[in-house]
């Protein structure tokens, strides 16, 4: 996904453009999710210049959509523009350049530090499968005793597995639209694979006796 268009790939824009399965009745929740997305962008680790470009691009897109959407959507679009403008002002006011912390460290020490840094894990499967797993873990309540909300858990696991996306609910909507009686394709396959491995290992153990 292009960095500048990250805010326009949300459910809020999807509803305004009529490109999502979500009904227009969901616009209120989608607006609040969009606001949270903006806050995450402004307070996250993205470069300030990239954030400004993403905000400006989203604002321009919203201004064009205002004239073609229904009244209720138009109100939320105007509120979104006002919030974008305010966040751009705040981002400009609070931006200060911080010198690199390692500027005075000897190059050999930098190399040693890098070599000690553990390699990050990369999810190489389908993003839809990871979302299915995330929702399953959330429902099981096996992380932080189930006290961590999905909107916090999902971005953390995305980052852990090296994925640059936060559109968790969009993928979940696709999972719900599946036609089979069991819609958890990945978890079902994982269960089958693990049981097969257990049976193979047990058979090998019996053969060694």
53-57, 75-79, 94-98: range with lowest mean pLDDT: 94-98
Name the more confident of 98 and 184: 184
Cα(26)–Cα(76) distance, integer angstroms:
11
pLDDT greater than 70 at residue 112: no
61-75, 90-104, 137-151: range with lowest mean pLDDT: 90-104
The ranges assigned to domains in the chain are: 3-94, 120-208
Looking at residue 190, its pLDDT comes to 95
pLDDT greater than 80 at residue 25: no
pLDDT greater than 70 at residue 144: yes
DSSP 67-80: TTS-HHHHHHHHHH
Greatest Cα-to-Cα distance within the chain, rounded to the nearest angstrom: 77
Cα(193)–Cα(197) distance, integer angstroms:
6
Cα(159)–Cα(161) distance, integer angstroms:
5
pLDDT greater than 90 at residue 189: yes
Name the more confident of 94 and 57: 57
pLDDT greater than 60 at residue 118: no
């Amino acid at each position: 996904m292009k960095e500048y268009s990250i805010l326009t790939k949300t459910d809020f824009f999807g509803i305004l453009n009529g490109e999502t399965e979500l009904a227009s009745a969901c616009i209120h929740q989608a607006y609040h999710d969009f606001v949270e997305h903006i806050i995450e962008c402004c307070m996250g680790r993205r470069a300030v210049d990239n954030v400004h470009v993403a905000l400006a691009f989203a604002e321009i897109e919203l201004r064009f959509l205002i004239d073609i959407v229904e009244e209720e959507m138009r109100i939320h679009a105007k509120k979104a523009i006002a919030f974008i403008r305010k966040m751009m002002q705040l981002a400009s006011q609070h931006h200060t350049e911080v010198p690199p912390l390692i500027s005075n460290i000897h190059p050999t020490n930098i190399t040693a530090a890098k070599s000690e840094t553990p390699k990050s894990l990369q999810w190489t499967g389908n993003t839809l499968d990871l979302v299915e797993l995330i929702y399953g873990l959330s429902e099981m309540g096996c992380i932080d005793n189930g006290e961590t909300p999905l909107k916090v858990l999902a971005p953390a696991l995305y980052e852990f597995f090296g994925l640059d996306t936060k559109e968790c609910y969009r993928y979940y909507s696709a999972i719900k639209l599946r036609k089979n009686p069991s819609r958890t394709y990945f978890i079902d396959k994982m269960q089958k694979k693990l049981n097969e491995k257990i049976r193979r290992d047990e058979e090998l153990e019996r053969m060694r006796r």
